[in-house]
Structure 1
Amino acid sequence: MATQLELARQGKITEAMEIVAKQEKMDVNLIRERVAEGTITICANVNHTSLIPRGVGKGLSTKVNANIGTSSAYPDIEPELIKLQAAIDAGADAVMDLSTGDNIDMSRRAIIEKSTVMVGTVPIYQATVDAIKKHGAVVDMTADDLLHAIAVQAKDGADFMTIHCGVTREVIQRMRKQGRIADVVSRGGSFITGWMLHNQKENPLYERYDDILDICRQYDVTISLGDGLRPGCLADATDRAQIQELIILGELVDRAWAKGVQVLVEGPGHVPFDQIAANMKLQKQLCKGAPFYVLGPLVTDVAPGYDHITSAIGGTLAAANGADFLCYVTPAEHLALPTIEDVHEGVIASRIAAHAADIVKGIPGAKDWDLKMAKARKALDWQEQLKLAIDPKKAERYRNARNTPNTEACSMCGDYCAMKIVGEYLNKPMDLCD
């Protein structure tokens, strides 16, 4: 079976391309051309039957991902399925199942079955949990264990998979030489780094990359090249290890495209505001325009409880400078497993960042949305304002809680509403002789 990338190269327009073109208000032939060149990815596993395809990449609206999944402390899948629906209802374009608790297979399959949006996974999580059960320790995990987890998740319908192929011995050595404050904060990156240091061997995900691509091609899984050494604090941003890994990821992009496999490239992380634009442009250059998927970036380390805000600040600048896909950060980041409300708040914050960037990027329809809201505010049309709000239910709660029924203005200004006062006078004819 041919992948979206291979079909696009053959000049064929698929149903998924037509759906994406309609969503984005773009010519389907342009979608096909960019899929063919790799600058647009349509993450759509052939076995994910409930999926409504979406595109990620050049010229498309900035997409938002929400992370969900069980943990060893909270192994129950039911709350995660509620979070899945909460993320979709809030407007997420994708979810990632990061389950590490018991019954990982059951959790993933339930999420994929019920999800109408793209589902991503991180196979090394399952491989490490299984390795502990099978061998007694993560460091005893084998290359075959890793490939088995990738194959199972691909067959189950994962649309994209984060795989940490760029963490090589050379990259780790650069990190050790330069030194870091937070070392490795990627969970998958830490697993593979620990394995390599213990066994004194090269990363099996790097050595077996061609085998991984064969699995991905079979199900049209998009490989999301994970940044295992992404900076976990501002002090570690844009260091030699991060950039060396990115160089390797650029080479792996070429190899994936050569095999007909679609690619995303993952990026930082914690990055000072003034370094974000350079990071985005460097990735696009080294990875030949492959879609870029970033976590945040978070622009400060000191806001636990508000990291959805620090993430949105960085996400806006990142997307305006070329990032295509934002992974949300919730208020619970660095503190705890997110609640359903945290998931909602994280998605909305990232969607605000994405939309602000889409206005800058000239995405079709982005400015129109704001113009409609401006006109509704001028007309004091509250129903239209609530309808247009990015989070209508929250906006309605505030409106109803602090205003009397049928009030024309809002309780902030009351009788002194600027738009109402000026509107009354502007609508009167002027006496030009006065």
Structure 2
Amino acid sequence: MNYKTQMKAAKKGIVTKEMKIVACKENMLEQELIKLVAEGKVVIPANINHKSLNPEGIGDGLRTKVNVNLGISGDSIDYCREMQKVKLAIDFGAEAIMDLSNYGKTQEFRTKLIEKSPAMIGTVPMYDAIGYLEKDLLDIKAEDFLNVVRAHAKQGVDFVTIHAGINKRTISLFKEDKRRMNIVSRGGSLLFAWMEMTGNENPFYEYYDELLEILREYDVTISLGDAMRPGCLDDSTDAGQVSELIELGLLTKRAWEKDVQVMIEGPGHMAMNEIAANMQIEKRLCHGAPFYVLGPLVTDIAPGYDHITSAIGGAIAATNGANFLCYVTPAEHLRLPDLNDVKEGVIAAKIAAHSADIANGIKGARDRDNKMADARQKLDWEEMFKIAIDGEKAKEYFESVPPESKHSCSMCGKMCAVRTTNRILNGEKVELLQNEVK
């Protein structure tokens, strides 16, 4: 191997096996893909130690991808259940799994996850720092933080969220501008606390070059985290968020110089009328790097239904430049999600991603929708269930109130518009009061 990262290979004109797979999946010419990877507009997160990986590309011109967050917490320690969530998420089409474990045997769980998962694996090393190092926050040194990143990279993690943009300049603006919800990023809040207690600069910002050397060694994509993402509508597009984004743009160029692939993380909570502009600002300030968004959630008053508020925002975001959607479940803001929450969250995010792909004219995006239309025109219910995102649920609904005729559903019965039109075009009568055989 005469290259270290996917980006380095692309810059040298080398088509890696991962690029071949991604180009095939995306109906794209290899030379078209290699150009985008070299420019940083597409990333292929593929740690050299993740042997079970089925690689995916994230970026402009590609299908919108979906990430699922899960992991062990102190209030819910069940390793088997988290692995069940992984299987369910992958079965419903999630392309990435982020292990956000912050309690217990995190290394063992992550090792098992990397061994078994064909999906990309991401982590936030900051979450794992206290448990991994067995030190309280104030006792952790800058070198310790880098050691946790090194441990994750060596294990085989494909991308890591690093909150390197929350530096002393960003914090100064955050304090001056004031916020309704302050900092809602878990990793960002921990770094903010560490910086305030120690008086030191953010270690991931101060020792960014050393961090990049670690990531380059294992070809780990850096996902530059949004520590200052808005946690409510009132805080969106403020000085803290925008100033951090400016920092992330500068850090992006430094990573590319080291041939490290970059994604940018974004909001958060945001009113619908601000989303498109935010996507364009990110692409401009961060030089076209792929954008990874949490939501955005378009209203703050729907706990229990935030998979819906997120899907609305995610569809708008992906139509206007976002490339990677982090799912949100109905349990958001309330508790750790269970299996059903994960299912609902994945499906909502996949709907948003697919809808955006259609709007963006991604090659082949409409094919499945056209097949569904053909099946509906024929009133072929079994075919509809096969094509549906969740065919099992669709079939359960259909069969819960059985129609009199199999060529309709219980909503319209014999007055089904498709049935009526098909009969007339076939030269048959439409007799609504008669018992018809067909």
State the TM bucket, normalised to the shorter chain: over 0.9
**Counterpart amino acid of residue 69 in structure 1:** G
Moved beyond 3 Å, runs of 4+: 426-429
How many residues are aligned here? Answer: 426
TM-score (normalised: structure 2): 0.95
Residue 273 of structure 1, CA deviation: 0.4
Residue 370 of structure 1, CA deviation: 1.3
Is contact 1:73-1:101 (8 Å) kept?
no
SS of corresponding position for 1:34: helix
Is contact 1:267-1:295 (8 Å) kept?
yes
Q: Which aligned pairs between 1:23-422 and structure 2 lie closer than 5 A? A: 23-131=25-133, 133-134=134-135, 137-404=136-403, 407-422=406-421
Cα distance in 2 for partners of 1:428, 1:61 equals 43
**Counterpart amino acid of residue 394 in structure 2:** A
Which stretch shifts more, 395-404 or 324-333? 395-404
Cα distance in 2 for partners of 1:405, 1:354 equals 37
Cα distance in 2 for partners of 1:290, 1:13 equals 20
SS of corresponding position for 2:8: helix
Deviations 1:169-223 (A, max 9, x none): 1111111111101101000000000111111221111001101100000000000
**Counterpart amino acid of residue 214 in structure 2:** I
Is contact 2:403-2:413 (8 Å) kept?
no
Which stretch shifts more, 253-262 or 402-411? 402-411
Residue 19 of structure 2 aligns with which residue?
Answer: 17
Unaligned ranges ≥5, structure 1: 430-434
Is contact 2:268-2:296 (8 Å) kept?
yes
Is contact 1:74-1:101 (8 Å) kept?
no
Cα distance in 2 for partners of 1:92, 1:187 equals 23
Cα distance in 1 for partners of 2:115, 2:179 equals 41
**Counterpart amino acid of residue 383 in structure 1:** E
Cα distance in 1 for partners of 2:422, 2:210 equals 67
Classify 1:13/1:408 alpha carbon distance in 2 versus 1 (closer, same or farther; 3 Å).
same
**Counterpart amino acid of residue 415 in structure 1:** K
Residue 433 of structure 2 aligns with which residue?
Answer: none
**Counterpart amino acid of residue 80 in structure 2:** E
Residue 237 of structure 1, CA deviation: 0.3
Cα distance in 2 for partners of 1:406, 1:417 equals 11
**Counterpart amino acid of residue 106 in structure 2:** I
Which stretch shifts more, 138-147 or 89-98? 138-147
Cα distance in 1 for partners of 2:174, 2:131 equals 27
SS of corresponding position for 1:347: helix
Residue 435 of structure 2 aligns with which residue?
Answer: none
Which stretch shifts more, 403-412 or 293-302? 403-412
Cα distance in 2 for partners of 1:212, 1:122 equals 14
Deviations 1:243-278 (A, max 9, x none): 000000000000000001001100000000000000
Residue 7 of structure 2 aligns with which residue?
Answer: 5
Residue 404 of structure 1, CA deviation: 4.9
Cα distance in 2 for partners of 1:171, 1:365 equals 42
Cα distance in 2 for partners of 1:363, 1:331 equals 29
Which stretch shifts more, 289-298 or 402-411? 402-411
**Counterpart amino acid of residue 86 in structure 1:** L
Cα-Cα RMSD = 1.2
**Counterpart amino acid of residue 335 in structure 1:** L
Residue 406 of structure 1, CA deviation: 6.8
Residue 74 of structure 1, CA deviation: 1.3
**Counterpart amino acid of residue 103 in structure 2:** G
Cα distance in 1 for partners of 2:17, 2:391 equals 32
SS of corresponding position for 1:304: coil
Cα distance in 1 for partners of 2:123, 2:11 equals 27
**Counterpart amino acid of residue 348 in structure 1:** I
SS of corresponding position for 1:238: coil
**Counterpart amino acid of residue 383 in structure 2:** E
**Counterpart amino acid of residue 185 in structure 1:** V
Deviations 1:87-130 (A, max 9, x none): 00111000100001111111111111111100000000111334
Residue 139 of structure 1, CA deviation: 2.3
Cα distance in 1 for partners of 2:359, 2:382 equals 28
Residue 376 of structure 1, CA deviation: 1.1
Is contact 1:312-1:352 (8 Å) kept?
yes
Deviations 1:352-395 (A, max 9, x none): 00000000111111112211111211110111111111111211
Deviations 1:258-317 (A, max 9, x none): 001001100000000000000000000001110000000000000001000000000000
Cα distance in 2 for partners of 1:271, 1:128 equals 31
Cα distance in 2 for partners of 1:271, 1:398 equals 34
Cα distance in 2 for partners of 1:244, 1:195 equals 20
SS of corresponding position for 2:54: coil
SS of corresponding position for 1:366: coil
Residue 405 of structure 1, CA deviation: 8.7
SS of corresponding position for 2:366: helix
Cα distance in 2 for partners of 1:335, 1:393 equals 28
Classify 1:322/1:200 alpha carbon distance in 2 versus 1 (closer, same or farther; 3 Å).
same
**Counterpart amino acid of residue 422 in structure 1:** T
Residue 329 of structure 1, CA deviation: 0.1
Is contact 2:404-2:413 (8 Å) kept?
no
Is contact 2:405-2:414 (8 Å) kept?
no
SS of corresponding position for 1:67: strand
**Counterpart amino acid of residue 28 in structure 1:** E
Residue 402 of structure 1, CA deviation: 2.2
Give the % identical residues. 53
SS of corresponding position for 1:19: helix
